[in-house]
Amino acid sequence: MKRKGVDALIHSLMGKAIGKFNLIEDGDRLLVCVSGGYDSMVLLTLLHTRLDFVPVTYSLHVLHIDLGFSGGESDGVETYLKDLGLAYTRVKTDIGPLAHSEANWENPCFLCSRMRKKLIFQNAEKLGYNKIVMGHNRDDVLETFFLNMAFSGEMSTMVPKQDFFGGEFLIIRPFYLVDEDVIRRYARRHQIPAFEDGCPTGGNSKRALIRNWLESLYPHNRRIKGTMFHALSNIKLDYLPKL
């Protein structure tokens, strides 16, 4: 069956990233990290359904870190995973409230991210998976670049494939070339749900500040996002200062 519209676009961009960066190989055991947001829910759905038509085979296991926020919808995530019939692990934690405690009020996102990543690696080792799949998209890549430049004083961002601990673990990002808008359109078309994690600072963080700034630029020229993304791999060191 020939795909059209957003279906064709998301499959094309995801397939291009997987092929260009050699993200998924035959026989891979993939640990898919699902937060409950649209990105990870759509990615999981596509990885699950594309097994019916791609010329490689791989196995999936889903990992959901329950951050423990009041009002979070981790139960909904678990129900959805059960309905899909996929093997999953839900890790219940108090990372969210701990990261937002009075002792850490200045930088809750940093501690939350650090503790969550540690749990991901621990569970990957425990479950026997060395290839970890994240749902980060092209918008995330640009936001991270400007976030690091503005608040960490460095020019860096996410990469499509990244090894940790001397290659013991490999993080891959199949949505590296996919815009967040495309993911949300696909989710609406196929009625793929998203679940809130209950984070009280999600819309008020440094990342949200950068996101809002970038989104204020895009309406001025539809090519801005693509041009900035291309610039990440078009670095001219001779025109950067050595301070």
The full DSSP string for 60-112 is EEEEEEE---TT--HHHHHHHHHHHT--EEEEE--HHHHHTSGGGTT-HHHHH
Under 8 Å between Cβ of 64 and 88 = yes
Spatial neighbors of 82 by CB under 8 A, at least 6 apart, are: 88
**What does the alpha-carbon distance between residue 136 and residue 177 come to, in Å, rounded to a whole number?**
10
The pLDDT tens digits of the residues spanning 172-198 come to: 999 999 999 999 999 999 999 999 998
Q: Look up the domain containing 188 and give its range.
A: 5-238
* Residue 78: per-residue pLDDT: 95
**What does the alpha-carbon distance between residue 36 and residue 135 come to, in Å, rounded to a whole number?**
10
Tokens 């059209």: give the residue. 4
Task: Spell out the alpha helix ranges (H) of the chain.
Answer: 5-20, 38-49, 74-84, 95-99, 108-127, 138-151, 180-190, 206-217, 224-231
* Residue 25: per-residue pLDDT: 95
Residue 132 β-bridge partners: 31, 171
- β-pairing, 131-133 vs 169-172, is parallel
**What does the alpha-carbon distance between residue 106 and residue 192 come to, in Å, rounded to a whole number?**
35
- We report the CATH number of the domain holding residue 165 as 3.40.50.620
pTM above 0.85, yes or no: yes
Spatial neighbors of 9 by CB under 8 A, at least 6 apart, are: 182
How many structural domains comprise the chain?
Answer: 1
Under 8 Å between Cβ of 96 and 197 = yes
pLDDT under 50: residue ranges of the chain: none
**What does the alpha-carbon distance between residue 64 and residue 201 come to, in Å, rounded to a whole number?**
20
* Residue 205: per-residue pLDDT: 85
* Residue 1: per-residue pLDDT: 56
Report CA-CA distances (Å) from 215 to 152, 210, 241: 21, 9, 28
Report CA-CA distances (Å) from 230 to 177, 179, 224, 243: 11, 14, 10, 25
Identify whether 243 is part of a domain.
no
The pLDDT tens digits of the residues spanning 36-70 come to: 999 999 999 999 999 988 999 999 999 999 999 98
